[in-house]
């Protein structure tokens, strides 16, 4: 059971990694290159020697990017399948495909979109090498806070739903989530390291491309895993088995 779902999660994750690569290559890479050109231009003005290229840009933007998105896709797909195995029949009353889609939407919001409102993705050139330790800790802390707040909000919703009705409980849960996130974002220190003169258009397009890359990854995991897992679920859930046989 867990094994069959895990295998499908890894497969959906692999496919999602490939799609995320395609999206990132088409929409993200041009912005990364603009940012690197800006960095090189600054170095030239300061008469600094250019950084030695350990891995060529050609490899970075193809094989390197592919390695990163595929490994991330497989890792997230695997953990997603286990979260699904727990959530199905417990968290919602929806069928397998809707459960997978909702779970992926929740993951995108909690792991990518909400943390990005405090610590948005940045292209090369932005961010001082000297503050990488601090920025890394803050970034992962914000993801952890967002995930915990999301779990707390879902629990609150489940707790209140029988008494208040599903809609009111969802508004209460969503309100609690927003309050927790707002408090965290007011308390955590900001990171403002964009160098003067960096083109605002490039920054905007890079961030949209980065959100799009993550959205591609989670959409493909949610919909792909839902499609692959439907029959596994039918074999193990008696109610769904009847549905599958009759259909």
Partner 1 sequence: MSDATLERSAAAAPAPIASPRELLPYAIFAAVLMLVLVYFVGAEQGATSLFSGSYVHELVHDARHLLGFPCH
**Residues ≥6 apart with Cβ < 8 Å to 30:** none
Q: Which residue among 22, 208, 219, 237 contacts partner 1 (CB under 8 A)?
A: 237
Q: Which residue among 41, 43, 128, 165 contacts partner 1 (CB under 8 A)?
A: 128
Considering only residues 179 to 198 of the shown chain, the ones binding partner 1 according to CB under 8 A are none
User: What separation, in Å, do the N-terminal and C-terminal C-alpha atoms of the chain show?
Assistant: 22
b (16+ CB within 10 A) / e for 159-177: ebbeeeeeeebbebbeebb
Rounded distance between C-alpha atoms, residue 8 and residue 22, angstroms:
21
**Is residue 204 a contact point for partner 1 (CB under 8 A)?**
no
Q: Which of 61, 20, 17, 58 is nearest to 209 (CA)?
A: 20
Half-sphere exposure of 59 toward its Cβ, with a 13 Å CA cutoff?
A: 4
Smallest gap from residue 47 Cβ to partner 1 (A) = 21
Q: Which residue among 26, 43, 44, 71 contacts partner 1 (CB under 8 A)?
A: 71
Smallest gap from residue 184 Cβ to partner 1 (A) = 17
Distances (CA, A) of 13 to 24, 41, 182: 16, 38, 32
Smallest gap from residue 175 Cβ to partner 1 (A) = 26
Binding mask 210-229 for partner 1 (x = CB under 8 A): xx-xx---------------
Rounded distance between C-alpha atoms, residue 72 and residue 134, angstroms:
23
Q: Which residue among 14, 40, 105, 135 contacts partner 1 (CB under 8 A)?
A: 135
Smallest gap from residue 31 Cβ to partner 1 (A) = 9
Cα dihedral across residues 151, 17, 202, 38: positive or negative: positive
Smallest gap from residue 158 Cβ to partner 1 (A) = 14
Q: Which residue among 106, 121, 224, 226 contacts partner 1 (CB under 8 A)?
A: 121
Question: Kind and range of the H or E element at 172?
Answer: helix 166-187
Number of residues that bind partner 1 (CB under 8 A): 77
Closer to partner 1 by Cβ: residue 64 or 180:
64
Q: Which residue among 55, 186, 187, 200 contacts partner 1 (CB under 8 A)?
A: 55
Considering only residues 86 to 115 of the shown chain, the ones binding partner 1 according to CB under 8 A are 86, 88-90, 92-96, 99, 112, 115
Burial class (CB in 10 A: 0-12, 13-18, 19+), 218: buried
Smallest gap from residue 42 Cβ to partner 1 (A) = 13
Q: Which of 139, 123, 124 is nearest to 191 (CA)?
A: 139
Considering only residues 137 to 156 of the shown chain, the ones binding partner 1 according to CB under 8 A are 137, 139
């Amino acid at each position: 059971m867990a094994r069959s779902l895990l295998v499908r999660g890894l497969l959906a994750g692999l496919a999602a990694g490939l799609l995320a690569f395609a999206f990132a290559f088409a929409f993200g890479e041009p912005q990364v290159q603009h940012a690197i050109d800006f960095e090189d231009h600054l170095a030239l003005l300061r008469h600094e020697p250019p950084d030695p290229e350990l891995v060529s840009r050609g490899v970075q933007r193809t094989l390197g990017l592919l390695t990163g998105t595929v490994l991330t896709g497989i890792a997230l797909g695997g953990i997603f399948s286990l979260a699904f195995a727990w959530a199905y029949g417990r968290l919602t009353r929806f069928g397998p495909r809707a459960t997978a889609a909702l779970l992926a939407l929740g993951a995108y919001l909690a792991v990518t979109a909400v943390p990005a409102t405090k610590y948005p993705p940045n292209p090369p050139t932005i961010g001082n090498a000297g503050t990488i330790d601090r920025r890394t800790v803050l970034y992962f802390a914000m993801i952890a806070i967002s995930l915990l707040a999301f779990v707390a909000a879902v629990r609150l919703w489940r707790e209140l739903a029988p008494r208040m009705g599903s809609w009111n409980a969802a508004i209460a849960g969503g309100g609690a989530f927003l309050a927790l996130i707002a408090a965290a974002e007011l308390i955590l220190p900001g990171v403002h390291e964009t160098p003067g003169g960096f083109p605002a258009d490039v920054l905007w397009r890079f961030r949209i491309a980065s959100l799009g890359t993550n959205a591609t990854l989670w959409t493909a995991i949610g919909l792909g895993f839902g499609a692959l897992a439907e029959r596994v679920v039918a074999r193990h859930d008696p109610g769904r088995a009847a549905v599958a046989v009759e259909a």
